[in-house]
Structure 1
Amino acid sequence: MRKLDISRRRFLTGATVSAAALPLSGCFDAAGQRDGTVRNVLEIANSLTYRVQRLLLSSDSLAQEFPESEIRQAQRPNGTTNPQDANYLAHVAKDFSDYRLEVTGLVEQRLSLSMDEIRNMPSRTQITRHDCVEGWSCIAQWTGTPLSALLEAARVKSQARFVVFSCMDSYGNGRGGLVPYYESIDLADARHPQTILAYGLNGRSLPIANGAPLRVRVERQLGYKMAKYISGIELTDRLDGHGLGNGGYWEDNGYDWFAGI
């Protein structure tokens, strides 16, 4: 099973390198072009069904972790690097002192947690590789609270199937307006031991460019699944009530929902 995992990771990350000569300025720029080279590679890579991909990625398999000696550069940001949304700027001005993470939806106990409360929960530190659809990768150390700890505290209801992340950054909707970024994963990934809500990067507080105050790390998926600037987590049994119903901002723009590697 591990051999299959490695082969899929190498295909997804290695195949996109062939498009690296394109003039890419951000993790998503060229991939967002529906007829572009990167987009075509993604469609081929993601042609496997969700069920088949889940068979390739067993529920207990771990993404590779590395020694500190492999951290050779700062973590390259992906996506938005400096949100200008009014609510986010208000939090930045107060150094996130009044920030609350809301956990809602199909739970027995709704949560509203400050950053101090989140930092006081059990933590996990892991050195992993971020793989971007653009073809680049970067190894960094991430520290945060396992998402499973929050789900346990919230007591997830049996009918829940997905975790939806609401974010404090916005993207263009293609019609001249802006829509809040959102993303989602299934409960198998949400409860995976390496899925954390990261507030630390390489031994320091998470920088704004990398998603402060909180971002999710889903180490067995591609970078666009790792939502930044998280403000809320909703447990749900369906995804059609969010955005255009495809499970994430980039999925609403043609990306595959499951990006396991």
Structure 2
Amino acid sequence: MSQFNRRGWIKGAGAGLAGLWLAACDKLNENPAALGVLRGAEGLTRRAQRLVTDRKALAREFPPAAISADFKPNGSVDPDDPAYRAHLANGFADWRLVIDGLVERPLALSLAELRAQPSRTQITRHDCVEGWSSIGKWTGARLGPLLDQAGLKPNARYIVFHCADSLEQTLDGSGQYYESIDLIDAYHPQSILAYAMNDRPLPVAHGAPVRLRVERQLGYKHAKYVMRLEAVEDFAHIGRGKGGFWEDRGYEWYAGI
């Protein structure tokens, strides 16, 4: 199936099934056998896609004329986290992107330092699991060179993106948004930490000061309000252990398109 047709199929299926899937999440979470089957199928899907596609194959890129006039923001649009509000109030002058975990050289980069890193600009389509899509122009620091600067340790397998927004208020902190990708996607040429959208600083509604763009996956993987990158061997110590806020609530960890 071509990339274009696969994206179209996912969008159509997502629009029809999103409500059923969300309604079923709680029931699935109560059924370990069902979750095991889903995780097995997800793994097969991921492996099958990577057998038939180049690991560095690019998502489709578009001309400037295709940029959407109205790009709907997904997820949180204005985090109320006190630390984030303080950063926003002073124009992110004191904000630092922390890169730690299983790395040899932990980093803490200012926004100016991040903008000075090797960068990439791309015009791509954002496909939401809810069934809508928009095209935007993104500029940001390439993720691979940042990880090389930090020096991943041999047992690092995933990169976790810790964010400033919370979608639920929970006693255990599991309502804090986070996402993760493996090293194949982390080193993909189009994986960037975007600080600009459509040639302007990234708006708050779209994740300022930086958001992840991982163009071969669905929208919920594109973490916004990124504060910290953590290199890990597994997810057991984070959230509910499934690799992401929505994954902890029943979504697939791998959302490739």
Q: Does 1:78 align with 2:68?
A: no
Residue aligned with 1:234, SS: strand
Conserved 8 A contact 1:156-1:235: yes
Q: What CA deviation, in whole Å up to 9, does each residue of 1:141-190 have, x standing for no partner? A: 00000101101111112221100000000121678977211100000000
Q: Distance in 1 between matches of 2:11 and 2:42?
A: 12
Q: Does 1:15 align with 2:13?
A: yes
Q: Which has the higher helix share?
A: 2
**TM-score, length-scaled by structure 2:** 0.88
Between the aligned residues of both structures, percent identity stands at: 51
Q: Distance in 2 between matches of 1:5 and 1:48?
A: 18
Amino acid in the other structure paired with 1:58 = D
Q: Which stretches in structure 1 are left out of the alignment for 5+ residues?
A: 23-29, 37-42
Question: 2:204 maps to what in 1?
Answer: 208
The 4+ residue runs of structure 1 with deviation greater than 4 A are 45-48, 173-178
Aligned length: 245
Amino acid in the other structure paired with 2:140 = G
Q: Distance in 2 between matches of 1:46 and 1:138?
A: 26
| Cα displacement (A) at 1:19 | 5.7
| Cα displacement (A) at 1:254 | 0.3
Question: 1:34 maps to what in 2?
Answer: 24
Q: What CA deviation, in whole Å up to 9, does each residue of 1:32-74 have, x standing for no partner? A: 43369xxxxxx7x958533223324431111000000001313
Q: Distance in 2 between matches of 1:175 and 1:156?
A: 32
Q: Distance in 2 between matches of 1:49 and 1:240?
A: 23
Residue aligned with 1:78, SS: coil
| Cα displacement (A) at 1:231 | 0.4
Q: Distance in 2 between matches of 1:151 and 1:174?
A: 31
1:228 alignment partner, one of 220, 224, 228? 224
- What does 1:102-141 correspond to in 2, within 5 Å? 102-141=98-137
Question: 1:179 maps to what in 2?
Answer: 175
Q: Does 1:257 align with 2:253?
A: yes
**TM-score, length-scaled by structure 1:** 0.86
| Cα displacement (A) at 1:11 | 2.1
- Cα distance 1:122–1:175, how it changes in 2: closer, same or farther (>3 A)? closer
Q: Distance in 2 between matches of 1:159 and 1:146?
A: 22
| Cα displacement (A) at 1:13 | 1.7
Q: Distance in 1 between matches of 2:173 and 2:66?
A: 41
Q: Distance in 1 between matches of 2:158 and 2:114?
A: 21
Conserved 8 A contact 1:19-1:135: no
- Cα distance 1:96–1:31, how it changes in 2: closer, same or farther (>3 A)? farther
Q: Does 1:90 align with 2:80?
A: no
- Cα distance 1:252–1:178, how it changes in 2: closer, same or farther (>3 A)? closer
Conserved 8 A contact 2:161-2:228: yes
- Cα distance 1:167–1:131, how it changes in 2: closer, same or farther (>3 A)? same
Amino acid in the other structure paired with 1:11 = W
Amino acid in the other structure paired with 1:15 = A
Q: What CA deviation, in whole Å up to 9, does each residue of 1:180-227 have, x standing for no partner? A: 111000000000000000000001000000000010000000000000
User: How big is the alpha-carbon RMSD for the aligned residues of Structure 1 and Structure 2?
Assistant: 2.4
Q: Which stretches in structure 2 are left out of the alignment for 5+ residues?
A: 27-37
Q: Distance in 1 between matches of 2:108 and 2:173?
A: 30
| Cα displacement (A) at 1:228 | 0.3
Conserved 8 A contact 1:106-1:236: yes
| Cα displacement (A) at 1:97 | 0.5
Question: 1:50 maps to what in 2?
Answer: 46
Amino acid in the other structure paired with 1:206 = L
